[in-house]
Amino acid sequence: MWRKPPSFKRLAVLLCLVVPALAWAFVKPVRVVMPGWADVTCAGALCTDDMRRASEAEQLLAEAQAHVERQVGAFGRRPRVIFCARQACADYFGLGARSAVTLASVATVIGPNAWKPHYVRHELLHHAQSDRLGPITLLFKPAWVVEGMAYGLSEDPRSPLAEPFESQRKAFLDWYGGIDHTQLWPELRKL
């Protein structure tokens, strides 16, 4: 017996309901869109799961924002940053073994071991990259641009970094040394 195929309207409704639900369940970084479900408290663009450490998180974020803006210019869109003091919070957002993660220019999650200036700067540099270049364009940039820039301009004190990150940092800093720093974004768009 022949069955009539589902209408486009029904298929569209199904996709609009199912795809976000699946993303929420399986792509945990997407959860940054609604961090309140992770038992975090937000004040503006800063969220944390431990309000006793909110002042520390505010200081780290303010220092990192100022540092990144000195390096690459003002943010177009201010980042939302979620500071997880507990591993359960980091797990909720899908950090796994990572110390921190930035989801395009939507939000950044800082894990319990990443409450250090260079980690927050690193992630805010990824935010700036996504904000200025676009998340899709960023996917096609070489790793020495994406990670090398974040490690190099964050002034990460670890030296040497584990490979391939040390080589990526060196490649970026070598390239960066040969350009007019006021033309960083146009130069990056050319790559």
Question: Could you read off the pLDDT of 81-100 as tens digits, one per residue?
Answer: 999 999 998 988 888 889 99
Q: What is the pLDDT of residue 107?
A: 87
pLDDT band at 110 (very low <50, low <70, confident <90, very high): very high
Distances (CA, A) of 36 to 11, 50, 60, 160: 31, 13, 21, 38
Helix-helix angle 143-153:54-72, to 10 degrees: 120
pLDDT at 117 over 80: yes
pLDDT band at 26 (very low <50, low <70, confident <90, very high): very low
Average pLDDT of the chain to the nearest whole number: 85
Rounded to whole angstroms, how far apart are CA atoms 185 and 18? Answer: 37
Q: What is the pLDDT of residue 153?
A: 98
Question: Could you read off the pLDDT of 138-176 as tens digits, one per residue?
Answer: 999 999 999 999 999 999 999 999 999 999 999 999 999
Cα pseudo-dihedral 111, 113, 114, 118, rounded to 10: -170
Work out the average pLDDT over 11-24: 44
pLDDT band at 4 (very low <50, low <70, confident <90, very high): low
Work out the average pLDDT over 184-191: 95
